[in-house]
């Protein structure tokens, strides 16, 4: 079975758990722990050891029977599976409260992402600096995205402008979009997009605590 075919058979649930493994391994490493068992990893994540072993086995052989997983090695391997060693270039569009918070998120660098561009349409914001990056006029988006080889566009603009920004990012050739605008984007099937709607998350939480 080829790698492409094998990867296509891996469930979305397994893929969605990989970032949780990576984050936990980083924390474990910060604690000075060199080896961890699937039991301990599962305890920290609330996932069964069997599920962890099954997930990781989808990508190869990791760990040593009777010993466990070498934390640094497994973190490196999971990071590689997630593509974090590609050092993707990212841009944030919309430098309001949320966009500014994203622009100043320090873990981007430690995760292997490079913040290379910021955009806004407000003259008062254009020209200011966030996290050592100058905010550019959104009208220059397409040109700058190409010049700086932006791989991922992060949309943090109001819903009314989000689709237009997404269209520009697609045309400019980004590989993926992380969308924080509360609308469903229309993008080509070939474009990878992840939607984060904060209102949905809060509404879901409200539902559960109301029925507590």
Can you say which residues are annotated as belonging to the binding site?
A: 94-99
Q: Which parts are annotated binding residues for NAD(+)? A: 94-99
Tokens for 130, please give them.
């966030």
Structure tokens at 189: 């099937």
CB burial class (10 A; 0-12, 13-18, 19+) of residue 23?
middle
Give the three-class secondary structure for 4: helix
Beta strands at 129-130 and 69-70: parallel, antiparallel or unpaired: unpaired
Contact 193, 177 (CB under 8 A): yes
């Amino acid at each position: 079975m080829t790698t492409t075919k094998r990867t296509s058979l891996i469930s979305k649930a397994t893929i969605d758990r990989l970032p949780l493994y990576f984050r936990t391994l980083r924390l474990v490493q910060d604690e000075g722990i060199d080896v961890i068992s699937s039991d301990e990893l599962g305890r920290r994540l609330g996932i069964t050891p069997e599920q962890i072993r099954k997930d990781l086995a989808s990508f190869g052989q990791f760990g040593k029977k009777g010993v466990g997983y070498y934390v640094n090695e497994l973190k490196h391997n999971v990071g590689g599976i997630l593509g974090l060693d590609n050092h993707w270039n990212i841009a944030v569009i919309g430098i309001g409260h949320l966009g500014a918070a994203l622009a100043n998120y320090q873990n981007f660098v430690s995760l292997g992402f490079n913040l290379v561009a910021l955009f806004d349409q407000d003259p008062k914001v254009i020209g200011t600096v966030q996290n050592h990056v100058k905010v550019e006029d959104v009208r220059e988006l397409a040109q700058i995205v190409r010049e700086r080889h932006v791989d991922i566009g992060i949309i943090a603009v109001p819903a009314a402008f989000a689709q237009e920004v997404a269209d520009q990012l697609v045309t400019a050739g980004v590989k993926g979009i992380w969308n924080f605008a509360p609308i469903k984007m229309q993008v080509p099937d070939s474009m990878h997009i992840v939607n984060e709607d904060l209102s949905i998350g809060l509404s879901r939480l409200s539902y559960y605590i109301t029925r507590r």
